[in-house]
Structure 1
Amino acid sequence: MKEQILIVEDDADINNLLAKILRTEHFEPIQAFSGTEAKLLFTQNTPDLILLDLMLPGLSGEELLSELRGNFSSDVPVIILSAKIALTDKVSLLKMGADDYITKPFEPEEVIARIQAALRRTSTSKKLSCLNLELYPDSRKVTVQGIELSLTAHEYDLLYLFMKNPEKVYSREMLYDLVWHGGYYGENNTVNVHVSNLRKKLKEADPENEYIRTVYGIGFKLVLH
């Protein structure tokens, strides 16, 4: 699955330019044009990294960063993109929890290099765990009770979504859009089949625990016991 980058920038030209740059480098951009919209998108699906402007309608960049590090207790890497060049601004934001700071105007190569460095330091080096289940994003490796599990690409992508956002309920429509990147029309049984196969493999490896639960009428979620 492509790593998702949330772009929070109210200037449509800059936002679209960043999205184009990210797609070229095989990232999946998610575009928000206000702090309020970014907060909503963040609650729906946690991205792998955030590119954050400061001067935003709704919540400012500083307010959004404060909420991410405070109310959400999120450690998702945040790179500030701002025209503010004063050292005091940079130091203040880094103390608030920003991971990096890029001054506008920027070069595309620098943005990509900073993103890759931040992901190496954080997201891709972290192990996701739930009971006896462990997932390693950098190598796409999954183990249950220390034994590696053989998963298809789509099964891994589904499990990664569930483990990245534990207890979040994903509808079939949302899973189809995020994993298969296509429109969901209600009659497609693809999601159900893949979730069922994933559950079967987890159950065979760890009969004592349930990892993925059906939320009837809505979808599926990872269960934290």
Structure 2
Amino acid sequence: MARVLLVEDEPSLRFALAHGLRQAGFSVLDAADAREGWARLDEAEVVVLDRMLPDEDGLNFLARLRRTPRYERMPVLMLTARASERDRVEGLLGGADDYLTKPFSTAELAARLVALLRRSRGAEVLRRGELVVDTERGRVTLGGREVGLTRREFDLLAFLARDPGRVYDRETLLERVWGPDFLGTLRTVDQHVAQLREKLGGRWIETVRGKGYRFTEAP
């Protein structure tokens, strides 16, 4: 269940798109303007961005996003009522990964998002010192030797390794790795961290007392 951030100021369209995307299997976060959208970026895997927002032009928002290391590779699909070739080229050159002109069907939007996520996830290889997390093949190697992980262990390690040094609390990890509909407890996160540490030789995932966990390359 991929997490889509929908930044669209028109309420009826935002509601319709959010409903359609949820029906297509996405988890949808919605925002009515650039300020609200920026505040929710950390929760998203892919962004659907309206070109015309009330507080900032969509291209300016996109430029800020691409200048920020944490978000520079986040997939972005831009929506617009402008159908000219010049506008499409401007959006793509401005950093959008795809461009969809209104009106459009929710089915087409969902299909384009699936394609964007497939491309962005498939090409990712995280190299953290002697630890390599290959999300395309679902493999982890440490010092050249493969480490056998369960799917959830792999997902948790990849999530933390994407942003070294950043602290995530257990609630966020449970929602982002297991999904908002998971019925387990916070203890699930602790158990998987313990299992990862055992398999990785006690390194890489650090406990920050009272706050949560973070990925660290320090021994």
The alignment's TM-score, normalised by the length of structure 1, stands at 0.83
Per the TM alignment, residue 68 of structure 1 is displaced from its structure 2 partner at its CA by 0.9
1:217 matched to which residue of 2?
210
Q: 1:111 to 1:164 in 2, by over 3 A?
A: same
| Aligned counterparts, 1:1-225, within 5 A | 2-42=1-41, 44-45=42-43, 47-72=44-69, 74-181=72-179, 188-203=186-201, 210-225=203-218
Tell me the distance in 2 between the aligned counterparts of 1:13 and 1:147: 53
Tell me the distance in 2 between the aligned counterparts of 1:183 and 1:94: 35
Q: Deviations over 1:134-187 (max 9, x none)?
A: 223234332223333222232222112102222221011211222333599xx8
- The one-letter code sitting in structure 2 at the alignment partner of 1:75 is R
Indicate if the aligned counterparts of 1:135 and 1:142 stay in contact, CA closer than 8 A: yes
Q: CA RMSD in A?
A: 2.4
Q: Deviations over 1:29-82 (max 9, x none)?
A: 22222211111112x34x332111112233331121010112446021211111
Gaps of 5+ in 2: none
Indicate if the aligned counterparts of 1:133 and 1:143 stay in contact, CA closer than 8 A: yes
Indicate if the aligned counterparts of 1:176 and 1:183 stay in contact, CA closer than 8 A: no
**2:14 aligned counterpart, secondary structure:** helix
Indicate if the aligned counterparts of 2:171 and 2:186 stay in contact, CA closer than 8 A: no
Per the TM alignment, residue 188 of structure 1 is displaced from its structure 2 partner at its CA by 4.3
Gaps of 5+ in 1: none
Count of residue pairs brought into register by the alignment: 215
Indicate if the aligned counterparts of 2:170 and 2:186 stay in contact, CA closer than 8 A: no
Tell me the distance in 1 between the aligned counterparts of 2:21 and 2:146: 32
Q: 1:188 to 1:107 in 2, by over 3 A?
A: closer
Tell me the distance in 2 between the aligned counterparts of 1:139 and 1:31: 32
- The one-letter code sitting in structure 2 at the alignment partner of 1:216 is R
- The one-letter code sitting in structure 2 at the alignment partner of 1:6 is L
Tell me the distance in 1 between the aligned counterparts of 2:25 and 2:135: 16
Indicate if the aligned counterparts of 1:155 and 1:198 stay in contact, CA closer than 8 A: yes
The alignment's TM-score, normalised by the length of structure 2, stands at 0.85
- The one-letter code sitting in structure 2 at the alignment partner of 1:173 is E
| TM superposition outliers: structure 1 runs of 4+ over 6 Å | none
